[in-house]
């Protein structure tokens, strides 16, 4: 059944029911009033500030319907914003979803999209409390706003890195790029089940938000989430902090599966780690004496932290295993952008 057959009012009723099913408790506050009034009402515990971020996803620009299922798209649309909330050291509070949908779209597809949104909302304690569902004259467009809360004055900003800080990342880098490369090569989770974690990293990224909150609590200095690739995002961190950085290539945390896929596809896995993008891990800096306290903190959360280099006074360089240093070039791929925030 198409949206135009069901009717818009009925569609909206169905979507609201999906979002409301089994109440999602926000991690960083409480919902006073959800979907159904002029605006949602959110209670923020005393002494906490609010963070807010938004991203837009456009069909044929950011995703293709034949490559991305609706459930994965819904998950990812919210997950990338929750990732930004975590990057400030904030706990998710609520999300608002605007969706422009062509009338000929299948209702089942839209329902699966909202189920994916809801699954992510439940996984991160970020209930969807409002939004807008409108007709599109072209393809699908989604925009998601995510809100979070954190102790007042404790936001972890990009500008916080200091010379001689250790440069660290959570998790592994390049898994999402490996999954995308496999899709480009015509593979699927069905054809190559052994690569399931790589496909999943691309389709249902799981930013380690709990780890970001734990890191924020220990006094890490600069932090951002890795969305455009380490080379590009490190440049942002360094520019904001007025520093440089040195990355040691051999320290880049690359998973066994990503290495295997790279080997099979004849590419360098370090390229994925540096420029693949969509890792949704956290890049952060910490004074050397503080680092030993991190693994015991992150371990119980199932998250690793790897030192990949250090913050320098100036210059962005990549050091090879043999000691040669090359300038970290700007990324080859540029998004159409982002009002300076991603």
Residues 42-101 close enough to bind a second copy by CB under 8 A:
42-44, 46, 49-62, 84-85, 87-88, 90, 94, 96-100
Instruction: Assess 121 for contact with a second copy (CB under 8 A).
Output: no
Judged by CB under 8 A, does residue 125 bind a second copy?
no
What phi and psi, each to the nearest 5 degrees, are found at residue 54?
A: -145, 145
CA angle 98, 103, 106 (to 5 degrees): 90
Q: What is the pattern of x (binds a second copy, CB under 8 A) and - over residues 14-33?
A: -xx--x------------xx
25, 108, 135, 185: which one binds a second copy (CB under 8 A): 135
Site for a second copy in 146-175 (CB under 8 A): 146-148, 150, 152-153, 155, 157-159
What are the residues facing 167 on neighbouring strands?
A: 285, 309
User: Which CB atom, from 13 or from 325, has the smaller least distance to a second copy?
Assistant: 13
Residues 307, 263, 320: CA angle, nearest 5 degrees: 40
For β-strands 91-101 and 128-135, DSSP reports them as parallel
**Residue from the set 69, 103, 197, 217 that interacts with a second copy by CB under 8 A:** 103
297 lies in the site for a second copy, by CB under 8 A: no
Rule CB under 8 A: which of 184-223 touch a second copy? none
Distance CA 286, CA 219 (A): 8
Please identify, among the stretches 13-21, 168-176, 255-263, 298-306, the one whose residues bind a second copy according to the rule CB under 8 A.
Answer: 13-21
Binding mask 298-337 for a second copy (x = CB under 8 A): ------------------------------------xxxx
What are the backbone angles phi and psi of residue 152, rounded to the nearest 5°? -55, 135
Report if residue 6 touches a second copy, rule: CB under 8 A. Answer: no
Closest contact distance (angstroms) between CB of 16 and a second copy is 5
> In angstroms, what is the minimal distance from the CB of 45 to a second copy?
11
Using a 10 angstrom Cβ sphere, with 0-12 exposed, 13-18 middle and 19 or more buried, the burial of residue 1 is: exposed
Told to check if 40 binds a second copy by CB under 8 A, we report: yes
């Amino acid at each position: 059944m198409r949206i135009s057959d069901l009717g818009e009012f009925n569609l909206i009723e169905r979507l609201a029911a999906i979002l409301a099913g089994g109440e999602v408790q926000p991690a960083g506050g409480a919902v006073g009033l959800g979907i159904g009034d002029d605006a949602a009402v959110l209670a923020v515990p005393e002494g906490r500030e609010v963070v807010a971020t938004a991203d837009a996803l456009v069909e044929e620009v950011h995703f293709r319907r034949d490559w991305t299922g609706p459930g994965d798209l819904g998950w990812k649309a919210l997950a990338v914003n929750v990732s930004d909330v975590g990057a400030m050291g904030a706990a998710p509070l609520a999300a608002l979803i605007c969706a422009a949908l062509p009338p000929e779209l299948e209702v089942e597809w839209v329902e699966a999209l909202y189920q994916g949104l809801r699954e992510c909302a439940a996984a991160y304690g970020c209930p969807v409390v409002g939004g807008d569902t409108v007709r599109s004259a072209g393809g699908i467009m989604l925009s998601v706003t995510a809100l979070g809360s954190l102790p007042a004055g404790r936001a972890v900003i990009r500008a916080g890195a200091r010379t001689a800080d250790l440069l660290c990342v959570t998790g592994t880098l390049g898994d999402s790029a490996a999954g995308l490369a496999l899709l480009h090569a015509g593979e699927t989770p069905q054809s190559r089940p052994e690569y399931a974690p790589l496909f999943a990293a691309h389709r249902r990224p799981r930013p380690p938000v709990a780890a970001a909150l734990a890191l924020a609590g220990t006094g890490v200095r600069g932090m951002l989430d890795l969305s455009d690739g380490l080379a590009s995002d490190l440049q942002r961190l360094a520019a904001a902090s007025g520093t440089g950085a040195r990355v040691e290539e051999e320290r880049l945390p690359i998973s066994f599966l990503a290495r295997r896929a790279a080997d099979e596809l004849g590419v360098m896995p370090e390229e994925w780690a540096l420029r693949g993008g969509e890792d949704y891990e956290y890049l952060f800096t910490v004074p050397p004496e503080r680092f030993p306290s991190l693994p015991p903190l992150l371990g119980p959360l199932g998250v690793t932290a790897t030192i990949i280099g250090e913050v320098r006074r100036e210059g962005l360089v990549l050091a090879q295993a043999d000691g040669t240093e090359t300038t970290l070039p700007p990324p080859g791929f540029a998004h159409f952008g982002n009002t300076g925030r991603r």
